[in-house]
Amino acid sequence: MDFDEVLMMLHHCKWQQEELMDRFYDNREKLLADCGINKSNDTVCGFNHVSSFSCSICCEDYSAVETFSLSCGHEFCINCYGSYVRTEVTLGNLIRCMIPSCNLSIPHMVTHGEYSHNVLLKAATISHISGRKVNYKWCPAPDCDGLVHLLKARKTGQSRLEDVNEFEELVDSESADLQSIPIVLCPRDHEFCYACQYENHLPCTCLLVKRWIKKCNDDSETVNWIDANTRACPSCTASIEKNGGCNHMTCSTCKHQFCWICLGEWSLHGTNYFRCNSFSSDMKEQIGEQKKVKRESLQRYLHYYKRFALHESSMKGDIKTLDKVHQKMSIFMEEQSKTNPNILSWIDVQFLQDAFRALTSGRKTLKWAYCFGFYLQKGNYADVFEQIQEYLSRSVEDLSKIFEQIIHKDNRGKSTAIIMNQKLDIMNLSSLITKRRKTLMECASSGLADGLLKLEML
C-alpha cells in the first residue's frame, strides 16, 4: 500500500487507526472498494493535454485542453473537474469520480506540473477536528499552528479523569487539585493547559487564572483607587481628590462648599477649619478604617500585578535575547564548518536548547506564581512557598544575565567563547531552574492538598 492509499483508508475510517486495522484484516477487498481504491487497474490517474476533446459535463468542444481522469478513464476538462473538487473539498469527505455510478476516489496528493498541494487533506483534517473539539486543541501560542490530539484521559496523581469531557469542567472548578490540570506539549514545544487552552499556568488553577485575567482587564482596581483617594461631591456627585490639609472643600464643578470629613455643608461648621463639630469620632474612625482597608487592598494588588507584568515582559525580552543567541551561534557554526569542522559540532552546543527551555519555563512559572500569591492566604507555609519562589527567581535572573552578556558582544567569536567558557554555569543553572520549578509546584500542590495552603477568592 502506498502513502496515498493509506491516507484514503484512514480518511474513510474517520482517522481511527484501530478501526482501519480491524477492517483491513477482516476484509481488505471490501475496505479498498469502500474507499474507492482500484488495485486491479494499472492505469495512472492524472492530468493530460489533449486535442479535439469534447467534455460531457460542460458540453464544450475543445481543439486543445487540459483534462483530468482517474484510473477508471472517466475524463473531463480541467475547468469542470476543478469546480467539482472546489465544491466537494469543503465537505471534508473523500472526493469520488464525477460519474455518479463510479466509486473511485481522487488521491489526496494531486500533482500538477510543479504545483503540488494537499487541499483535500487539509479540509478533511479541519472537518474531522471541528467535529471532535474535545479531543483536539490548537496551540494558543502566537504564530503556532501546532495541534494536540488527546487520545485518552491520563492518570494524574491520586485522581483520574475518566473522560476528556471532564477537562472542560476544570475551567470553572473550585477544586484546588493541581495534579488534575492537564498540561500538554505541542509539536513546537509550547506548553499549554488542555482544559482552558491558556499557556501553562501552574501553580494556578484554571479558575484562578480566569479570575486574575478578569481582574487585570476590568476597572475594579481603578474604582478602588478612586474610592480610597477621592470623595463624591454631595451636591453633584463629581469625584474630588483632596491634595491639601484643609477640610473646607469647594467643588470645581458646581461650586458647592462642604466638609471633607462629614460631607456636610460648610456653612454649618462655623469658622473652625480643623475640627468637625458635627462628625462623631466613631464615624470618623469607621470611615478612616474603610479607606485604610481599600488602600491596603489596592497596594496588595499592585504589588503582585507589577511583578506578574514584569516577568511577562522579561519573558518576552528573554525570547528575543535567545533568538539573537541562536542566530549568532548558527552563523558561527556555519562559518566554522567550512574552516574547522572538527572543533565544535551541534551536539556540543545542544545544552543551549535545554537552557532556552529552562529559562522561558522558569519565567512563566514565576509570572503565574505571583498570581497564585495574590490569592494565597498568609501563613507559615505560604512563607515557605514565597521563599522557594525567591530561589527560583534568583536562578532565572542569573541565567538571563549570562545570555544578555552574550548578545552584547559584537564579535561572534567572543560570543561563542563566552558560551563555551560558561557552559558548565549555563548547564548548572538550567538544571537548578528545573529543580526549583518542580519544588515550587510540589510545594503548591501538596500544600493545597494537605490544607497547609489556602486560597482566598477575592
Per-residue pLDDT tens over the stretch 424-439: 898 999 999 999 999 9
* Predicted local confidence at residue 394, as pLDDT: 92
Helix (H) or strand (E) holding 413: helix 412-421
Q: Which of 251, 279, 307 is the last residue of a domain?
A: 279
- Residue 346 within a domain: yes
What pLDDT score does 282 carry? Answer: 58
Mean pLDDT calculated for residue range 328-342 = 66
Within-domain flag for 212: no
DSSP codes of every residue in 234-280:
TTT--EEE--SS--EEE-TTT--EEETTT--BGGGGTT-SS--TTS-
- The rounded Cα 267 to chain-centroid distance in angstroms is 61
Residues 329 and 409 grouped into a single domain? yes
pLDDT at 123 over 50: yes
Query: What are the DSSP calls for 327-388, one per residue?
Result: HHHHHHHHHHHHH-TTT--GGGGTHHHHHHHHHHHHHHHHHHHHHHHHHBPPSHHHHHHHHH
What is the rounded distance in angstroms from the CA atom of residue 36 to the CA atom of residue 103?
5
Higher-confidence residue of 176 and 121: namely 176
Same domain, 429 and 336: yes
Q: Which residue, among 252, 405, 395, 407, has the nearest Cα to 324 in the 3D structure?
A: 407
Same domain, 424 and 328: yes
Catalytic residue among 59, 77, 144, 246: 246
* pLDDT (0 to 100) of residue 271: 54
Per-residue pLDDT for 376 more than 70? yes
Confidence of residue 135 (pLDDT cuts 50, 70, 90): confident
Asked if 35 and 55 sit in the same domain, the reply is yes
Asked if 66 and 51 touch (Cβ cutoff 8 Å), the reply is no
Q: What is the three-class DSSP state of 193?
A: strand
Determine, yes or no, domain membership for 267.
yes
Question: Given the C-alpha cell 486543541, which residue does it identify?
Answer: 137
pLDDT of 116: 42
Q: Tell me the three cell numbers of residue 241.
A: 481628590
Q: How far apart, in whole angstroms, are the C-alpha atoms of residue 430 and residue 69?
A: 58
Same-domain check for residues 34 and 154: no
Shared domain check, 137 and 119: no
Most confident of 169-183, 288-302, 350-364: 350-364
Q: Cell numbers of 352, please?
A: 543551549
What does the alpha-carbon distance between residue 369 and residue 201 come to, in Å, rounded to a whole number?
Answer: 9
Coil, helix or strand at residue 144: coil
Q: Which H or E run includes 62?
A: strand 61-69
Residue 362 resides in a domain: yes
Averaged pLDDT for residues 318-334: 76
Phi-psi region of 27 (alpha: psi -120 to 50; beta: other; left: phi over 0): beta
User: What 3-state DSSP class applies to 270?
Assistant: coil
369, part of any domain: yes
Tell me the β-bridge partners of 239: 232
**For residue 156, is pLDDT > 50?**
no
Q: Which of the two residues, 246 and 396, has the higher pLDDT score?
A: 396
Residue 258 lies in a domain: yes
DSSP state of 96: B
Amino acid letter, residue 197: Q
281: pLDDT strictly greater than 80:
no
pLDDT band at 91 (very low <50, low <70, confident <90, very high): confident
Same domain membership, residue 404 and residue 314: yes
Q: What is the pLDDT of residue 267?
A: 78
Question: Containing domain of residue 273, as a range?
Answer: 233-279
Number of structural domains (the chain) is 4
- Among 72, 97, 127, the domain boundary falls at 127
The answer as to whether 328 is a domain residue is yes
Q: CA 268 to CA 276: how far, in whole Å? A: 10
Half-sphere CA count of 102, side-chain side, radius 13 A? 17
Q: Are residues 145 and 196 in the same domain?
A: yes
Q: Rounded mean pLDDT of 268-295?
A: 59
pLDDT at 429 (0 to 100): 94
Considering the domain architecture, whether residues 167 and 105 belong to the same structural domain is answered as no
Place of cell 527551555: 357
Q: Is the pLDDT of residue 358 over 70?
A: yes
- Residue-level pLDDT at 433: 95
Structural domain contains residue 315: yes
Q: What is the mean pLDDT of the chain?
A: 79
What is the number of other CB atoms lying within 10 angstroms of the CB of residue 292?
A: 11
Q: Are residues 346 and 437 in the same domain?
A: yes
Choose from 216-230, 235-249, 363-377 the range with maximum mean pLDDT.
363-377
Q: Which of 137-151, 169-183, 384-398 has the lowest mean pLDDT?
A: 169-183
Question: Angle at the Cα of 26 (from 22 to 28), degrees rounded to 5?
Answer: 100
- 246 in catalytic set: yes
Pairing status of strand 136-138 against strand 147-149: antiparallel
Element (H, E) at 75: strand 75-77
Amino acid letter for position 280: S
Supply 455's cell numbers. Answer: 486560597
Return the minimum-mean-pLDDT range out of 110-119, 173-182, 267-276, 358-367: 110-119
Distance CA 104, CA 98 (A): 9
* CATH code at position 311: 1.20.120.1750
If asked whether residues 42 and 172 sit together in one domain, one would say no
Residue 225, all three cell numbers: 483607587
Among 157-171, 251-265, 442-456, whose mean pLDDT is lowest? 157-171
Q: Which domain-ending residue is among 222, 244, 279?
A: 279
Instruction: Give, in order, the Cα–Cα distances in Å from 423 to each of 323, 358, 399.
Output: 18, 14, 11
Please report the pLDDT score of residue 274 as a whole number: 45
Q: What is the average per-residue pLDDT within 134-141?
A: 84
Q: What is the percentage of the chain residues whose pLDDT exceeds 90? A: 25
Q: Which residues contact 107 (CB under 8 A, 6 or more apart)?
A: 4, 5, 7, 8, 45
Q: Looking at the structure, do residues 18 and 63 belong to the same domain, yes or no?
A: yes
CA distances from 419 to 53, 342, 350, 422, 433 (A): 68, 18, 12, 5, 18
State the pLDDT at residue 430.
93
